[in-house]
Amino acid sequence: MALDELKAAVPDYAKDLKLNLGSVIGNSELPKQQLWGTVLACAIASRSAQVLRELEPEAKANLSPEAYTAAKSAAAIMAMNNVFYRTRHLLSDKEYGTMRAGLRMNVIGNPGVEKVDFELWSLAVSAINGCGMCLDSHEQVLRKAGVDRETVQEAFKIASVIQAVGVTLESEAHLA
């Protein structure tokens, strides 16, 4: 199993990450599609080739072709949106917030899967990319759709662990 290989690659000084990786994926209460879509979108957002290489095959095996594409779409669109909206938020000139974005985001309206799943994946990627505006927006959509806080937290818990594993493995590759 690729998850075991990924855990084995985590250095001893990061044992907590190894344990958390097994826990957030192996013991998650999320439905299979939400779990593996979150894992795939976060693996992409982590920018770690090793994390993506190890987790993508299992994600692909656990997702329908539509969900697989939608999870990749969530990572792609949030890579753009997180930079755009985070920058708008951070600029002291609030006039930028009143301007039309002028960016295509059609996939958000028609992701090819249940809207809740896509929103959950978008929230997880936004957590990795650190966009408060996007986090608030996706969390509000999820909560209005009846998703409980535990599910929302599960998504950003997965994001935090996958991101930390990616950072750790990438730094180890450069230190070796």
Choose, from 21, 35, 123, 134, the residue flagged as catalytic.
134
50, 94 contact by CB (below 8 A): no
Active-site residue among 125, 131, 141, 158? 131
Q: Which residues of 121-151 are buried (b: 16+ CB within 10 A; e: fewer)?
A: bbbbbbbbbebebbbebbbebbeeeebeeeb
Q: What does the block give as tokens for 149?
A: 């806080």
Q: What is the DSSP letter of 77?
A: H
Q: Is-catalytic flag, 42? A: no
Active site residue 134: yes
Catalytic center residues: 131, 134
